[in-house]
Amino acid sequence: MTDFLPEEVRAGLEAARKADLERKSTLRVRAGGVAHPILRFRDNGFTVDSDLPKLRGLVDVYDGSRHLYRCLIIASEEEGGETRYEFKRATTASDRAPLDFHRDPRAPAALIGAPE
């Protein structure tokens, strides 16, 4: 049995595989105001299509419209049509500033004043 496939068939299969990964993933990396789909996401990095422009430096990772991480990345390797990036730093995004004091968990949510 032969494992030979014509170049056009292999290119078509690879394009279909990438399209399927992009369709399934809602994760996006945003750099320079442009968002690119993330094909695979791991604890120490992610992969994107190697046909995209090379990313570097500070990027943001989104799941749909939800901001997940602000990351400092470096390109690690290119394999199988995907470029893998590793995190030098990945900070969880927050919608509010961190507190610089201890908040008592039993404290009331608000104080109700006397009516005037």
Indicate whether 34 belongs to any domain.
Answer: yes
In what side-by-side order are the strands of the sheet with 57-63?
Answer: 34-37, 27-31, 57-63, 66-79, 82-92, 45-49, 40-42
Per the structure, the complete domain to which residue 61 belongs is given by 27-92
Indicate whether 43 belongs to any domain.
Answer: yes
Indicate whether 105 belongs to any domain.
Answer: no
Indicate whether 37 belongs to any domain.
Answer: yes
- Tokens of residue 20, six digits: 């399927």
Which pLDDT score, from 0 to 100, does residue 22 have? 62
DSSP 78: E
DSSP 91: E
Indicate whether 78 belongs to any domain.
Answer: yes
What is this structure's pTM? 0.65
Coil/strand/helix, residue 75: strand
**Average pLDDT rounded to a whole number, residues 76-82:** 85
Indicate whether 16 belongs to any domain.
Answer: no
Q: Total domain count for the chain?
A: 1
Confidence of residue 87 (pLDDT cuts 50, 70, 90): very high
Rounded Cα distance, 8 and 81, in Å: 15
